[in-house]
Amino acid sequence: MTNLLQVNSLSKTYGTHRAAHDITFELAEGTSTALIGPNGAGKTTTLSMLAGLVTPTSGSILFRGQPKPDIRASIGYLPQYPKFFPWMSALEFTEMAAILSGVEKRQALIEAKKTLEFVGLGDAMKKRVGTFSGGMKQRLGLAQAIVHEPELLLLDEPVSALDPVGRRQVMNLLKELQQKTTILYSTHILNDAEEMTDQLLFLRKGILVENGSLDDIRKKYANPRILIDFESNEEAEKFKELSPWTAEREKKQVAIDAVKEGVGTPEVLALLNAENLTIRKVELQTASLEDIFMKVVMEE
Amino acid sequence: MSSFNVLLKKEWRENLRTYKLYWIPLVFIIFGVIEPLTNYYLPEIMKSIGNLPEGAEFTWPQFQGEDIFVSLMGQYQMIGILIVILAFMGTISGERKNGTATLLYVRPMSFSHYFLSKWIVINTIVLGSVWLGFFASWYYIRILYNSVAAGEVFAFLGTYSLWLVFAVTVILAFSAWISTGGTAGISILLLLVFQIIDGLIGTYWTVSPWKLSAYAPSAFTGSVDQSDYWLSVGLTVALIILLVLFGIRMSKQNAAKTLV
């Protein structure tokens, strides 16, 4: 797989505020990458620089290995809150977007119609955007970003502002798009990231603090623990004393750090059987993406 | 070129659908109609409702048709220019502020196309409105006053139109540079306050864009120094070109200020 985009120590400083600092990553062609971080972490700044809206203070962006002065022709960009001219119809806007992105005039109308059908605005394409609901605007935003079939799709919080139904619909559209194009999107909703991501980029205060595939990051931060729930406090305490491993007791629950103690569930179960302790539940707990998020992004 | 065409079309549609294409010409036409009518009927209006003391006699100035054109221009110079400023001060800064510009700026669009599409459409609307206003006035001038030679009228309108293009360019260039409020302030200063300053102490210089409105009536009288007139025209054209270039540059430089 070739690299579509290569970002080298990209930085943006506003006065003394470092919105993005020394950000380096690559996007392989055909992959989906999630940019994750709390509000104010620099997600929007990073995407704006890639979209050509904001000029980086330093650093370079290579497109297919080449520095490209204007990558705007090759990208589709959906801002967090896309704003449209309320007096325009969805079709007029999408057609204009296509032409401005270099699609030939006659083809632009055909592509605009096709794209609006794809995002589910087929019935509303002649309506003025001023009458659209939030979900419809978001879908129109997606339509204008993909109408010229860009090589790279940049989406800033594509589903955060939507209700659960709208979110599901847009997620399904994105999954379909994922088959055709390279996607970089920011989000702070981790379920979404989990659903359609090959690569995760964690940003904190403008710095890229973690970068890797979902599996790699899972493995690194999984921190598996064996949790045993007992019938009573006494049994839990008894187990803790018997156990050859360091264990922590919280009322009826005992926890063992699986990696540190080098122990698996079979050994624990064997011990439980041997001592004839009544248990309610034995569980191997790994960190959820949310735990990882808190650990990677929030810790000082 | 098709990207330029699509931007032109966008501007035209915008002004059509936000009704600027209707109300701005209408306002100028109303002024154009009122000016000859009120001047003509003023003595009678004053006689019937003016509450003049018994036996008071006034000699009302005897207006010629040419004078009406000039006094209508005086109306346009204040109220007309103010309307144009208010209608178009947010042309670029407003698009940046409400974020509608963002989805244009992220496309491989030329900023000169962006600026010039607005410049052309707004000039068309403003010149069209002012010309329609003068034509409406001309109609009543012919009926109520004397007939004014078409050549003189067009020479007068030509000179005044250059000043209007200058005014539109000032508004648009500042809208590309600073906020909508700032644009309004500076445009009022440059286009209205400077006019007054030029009128008060303008005898010390003869060449400036603000002199164009003073020189325009010379189409009827032919009483102006030709070299001063042409130097003012040349200076205004040069300033328009510089302001257009400045506006294009500022549109591009301030693209990052658009709301995302």
Instruction: Kindly state whether residue B1 falls inside one of the protein's structural domains.
Output: no
B50 has pLDDT over 80 = no
Asked if A92 lies within 8 A of B13 by C-beta distance, the reply is yes
**Residue-level pLDDT at B1:** 63
Q: Is the ipTM of this complex over 0.85?
A: yes
Note whether B98 contacts A: Cβ–Cβ < 8 A.
yes
Asked if B100 lies within 8 A of A85 by C-beta distance, the reply is yes
A65 has pLDDT over 80 = yes
**Residue-level pLDDT at A236:** 87
Asked if B6 lies within 8 A of A44 by C-beta distance, the reply is no
Count of structural domains within chain B: 1
H/E stretch holding A186 reads strand A182-187
Range of the domain at B172: 7-255
**pLDDT tens-place string over residues A30-53:** 999 999 988 888 999 999 999 988
Instruction: Kindly state whether residue B126 falls inside one of the protein's structural domains.
Output: yes
Band (A245; pLDDT cuts 50, 70, 90): confident
Note whether B256 contacts A: Cβ–Cβ < 8 A.
yes
Note whether B7 contacts A: Cβ–Cβ < 8 A.
yes
Mean pLDDT, rounded, for A74-80: 93
**Residue-level pLDDT at A299:** 65
Helices (H), A179-264: 190-195, 214-221, 233-242, 258-261
Asked if A157 contacts A187 with a C-beta cutoff of 8 angstroms, the reply is: yes
Mean pLDDT, rounded, for A280-294: 83
A1 has pLDDT over 80 = no
Q: Which residue has the higher pLDDT, A258 or B123?
A: B123
Contacting B with CB below 8 Å, chain A residues are 44, 48, 51-55, 70, 72-73, 75, 77, 79-85, 87-88, 92, 95-97, 99-102, 104-105, 141, 144, 156
Mean pLDDT, rounded, for A71-91: 93
DSSP B222: -
A56 has pLDDT over 70 = yes
Q: Choose among A153, A135, A144: nearest CA to A90.
A: A144
Strand ordering across the sheet containing A3-14 = A66-67, A58-63, A3-14, A17-28, A207-213, A199-204, A32-36, A182-187, A152-156, A75-78
Asked if B108 lies within 8 A of A144 by C-beta distance, the reply is no
Instruction: Kindly state whether residue B204 falls inside one of the protein's structural domains.
Output: yes
Cα dihedral angle (A126, A129, A133, A136), rounded to 10 degrees? 60
**Residue-level pLDDT at A237:** 87
**pLDDT tens-place string over residues B15-37:** 999 999 999 999 999 999 999 99
Asked if A105 lies within 8 A of B17 by C-beta distance, the reply is no
**Residue-level pLDDT at B4:** 95
Q: Choose among B195, B194, B201: nearest CA to B214.
A: B195
pTM for the full predicted model: 0.88
DSSP A198: S
**Domains observed in chain A:** 3-220 (3.40.50.300), 222-292 (3.30.70)
Asked if B2 lies within 8 A of A54 by C-beta distance, the reply is no
Instruction: Kindly state whether residue B155 falls inside one of the protein's structural domains.
Output: yes
Nearest CA in chain B to A45: B260
Q: Choose among A30, A31, A4: nearest CA to A197.
A: A31
**pLDDT tens-place string over residues B200-235:** 887 788 899 999 998 999 999 877 778 899 999 999
Whose tokens are 């286009």? That residue is: B191
Instruction: Kindly state whether residue B260 falls inside one of the protein's structural domains.
Output: no
A300 has pLDDT over 60 = no
- How big is the CA angle at B252 (ends B250 and B256), to the nearest 5 degrees? 105
- Chain B residue numbers with beta carbons less than 8 Å from the beta carbon of A89 are none
Whose tokens are 């921190």? That residue is: A223
Q: Which residue has the higher pLDDT, B117 or A228?
A: B117
Distance CA A50, CA A151 (A): 13
Note whether B255 contacts A: Cβ–Cβ < 8 A.
yes
Looking at every residue in chain B, the average pLDDT score rounds to: 92
Distance CA A288, CA B123 (A): 61
Asked if A98 contacts A148 with a C-beta cutoff of 8 angstroms, the reply is: yes
Asked if B260 lies within 8 A of A48 by C-beta distance, the reply is yes
Asked if B13 lies within 8 A of A53 by C-beta distance, the reply is no
For residue A53, give the nearest of B13, B105, B108 by CB distance: B105
